[in-house]
Each structure stands twice: as structure tokens, then as C-alpha cells.
Amino acid sequence: MGLLEKIKKDFPFKVKIGDKTIKYRPWNTKEEKNYLLVSGSKENPTFEDIENILLTNCVENYDEIKKDLTEGEKYLLLLEIRKFSISETIDLKFECVKCKKLNDLAAPLDKIVHYKEANYKEVKLDNKVFYFGKPKTEKLVERVREEKDPIEKEFKNLLIHIQKIEIDDEVFDSFTFEELYEFVSNLPAKEFDELSKEFNEMKEEFDVYLDTYCMFCNAENKVVFGGIEDFLWG
């Protein structure tokens, strides 16, 4: 038997994310090297870079299942694999806001990752009903990811979660993104505020920060991360 036949190709680990059970394996040396190459050559590796290098290979049938995963679920999956590939903690240094001393600790990932599952439902406004749900295509999610302006990003994120609109009992569910953009842009500001408030309560949330205490003076400290790219190998 040739040596290369000994290379493990199976996915020994399982994780439940939302209602899906996903099989995966830890990163190998080649993947780790590729990731470090990309993150060393770019100031900020994009999520697509990370996805292509780390998720596509390490998750069983990733190309098929990725369309059913939300952005937050992909992050959770990535961090789950990171636990088995590197460790369940990250080495963290921060200066205390009060005594200014340098804290050095191994923080558990589970304390850093804050995730709220989405809870989509319909919103009734005057003579209209907006039905919210997961974005129908990957392309829509990309539109939001590519948007640089934070206000536009938030606006587009709301739009891609609208699946259907009823107006005076007439149903609209086959509009283009551009049509929807135009339609929602023309809503009275008061109606949009209400819609946006409701959406913020139901949308998925993924955040990375650590609430902790200084080991010298016990003052409360909040350590904020730029994104998961910041501590994937930290």
C-alpha cells in the first residue's frame, strides 16, 4: 500500500448547527499554511478566502450545504472546527481600562462567541404584510457582504430577508432585488422605521467579544475583536 493512501479523508466529527447535523474534520497542515499565506499577503482576508481554504475542504459536502447555512451559522461552524484544529481557548492580552496593567489569559471561545438565532416572522403595517425569512440565494447574501457603507448594508440586509409582501390582500413574491429596493425606499419613513425595528428584533446576531475582570484590580473589562479572522490563529 502506498504511503499516500494513508492520508485520512474522512470527517470524524459532527456538530449540530440550527437543525442540521454537519460532519467535518480538523484543518491539516496544508490548509493552515494556505490560510497563513493568504492572511499574510492581504491586510484583511475576506470571509470568502477563509471559506475557500478552511470550510470547503474540511466540511462534508460543503458546496452543497453552504446555501442552507446563514452567515452566522458559517461562523459557528468555522469556530467549531477551530476548536478541534487548534484549541478551545485563545491566548489573549489586554490592558486593563482601570489599572492599565497587562492581562494575559487563555479565554474560552465559548465565552467570546455570542450568537442569537434568527426568529423570522411577518410584520403588519397599515395595509401591508411583510413576510421575512432566510435569504433565498447566496447571491443576495453576497450583495450585502460587498456593501461598504454601513447604512446601506443594514438596509440591504433587511431587504434580502423579505420573501413576500401582501398589499390589500394581493400577494407579491416574484420581485427582483432592484424592484424591492425601490419599493421599500418609497415607503413612508415612519413605516420603514417600524419595519426596521421589527427586523432588528428577529434577525440573526453574531458577535465576538469577551466580558471579563482584570486579574489585578478586578475591574470590569470588555475586550472587542475586529472579527473572527482576528483570532482564528490567535
CB of 219 to Zn ion, least distance (A): 5
- Taking CB under 5 A as the criterion, the residue among 106, 167, 217, 224 binding Zn ion is 217
Per-residue binding letters, 27-66, with Zn ion (x by CB under 5 A): ----------------------------------------
CB of 62 to Zn ion, least distance (A): 43
Residue 99 near Zn ion by CB under 5 A: yes
CB of 105 to Zn ion, least distance (A): 13
- Taking CB under 5 A as the criterion, the residue among 77, 78, 96, 158 binding Zn ion is 96
Q: Which residue in the block uniquely carries the three cell numbers 497563513?
A: 36
Give the total of residues touching Zn ion (CB under 5 A).
7
Of 85 and 221, which has the nearer Cβ to Zn ion? 221
Per-residue HEC secondary structure of the chain comes to: CCHHHHCCCCCCEEEEECCEEEEECCCCHHHHHHHHHHHHHCCCCCHHHHHHHHHHHHECCHHHHHHHCCHHHHHHHHHHHHHHHCCCEEEEEEECCCCCCEEEEEEEHHHHEEEECCCCCEEEECCEEEEECCCCCHHHHHHHHHCCCHHHHHHHHHHHCEEEEEECCEEECCCCHHHHHHHHHCCCHHHHHHHHHHHHHHCCEEEEEEEEECCCCCCEEEEECCCHHHCCCC
Count other C-beta atoms under 10 Å from residue 138's C-beta.
12
Q: Cα dist. 160→10, 36, 123, 134, 146 in Å?
A: 36, 33, 15, 8, 13
Residue 212 near Zn ion by CB under 5 A: no
Of 53 and 96, which has the nearer Cβ to Zn ion? 96
Binding segment for Zn ion (CB under 5 A), chosen from 50-58, 94-102, 161-169, 179-187, is 94-102
Binding segment for Zn ion (CB under 5 A), chosen from 20-28, 81-89, 138-146, 209-217, is 209-217
Residue 171 near Zn ion by CB under 5 A: no
Binding segment for Zn ion (CB under 5 A), chosen from 33-41, 81-89, 113-121, 215-223, is 215-223
Residue 167 near Zn ion by CB under 5 A: no
Residue 102 near Zn ion by CB under 5 A: no
Q: Please give the residues from 117 up to 156 whose contact with Zn ion meets the rule CB under 5 A.
A: none
CA distance 70 to 205: 11
Of 42 and 98, which has the nearer Cβ to Zn ion? 98
Residue 216 near Zn ion by CB under 5 A: yes
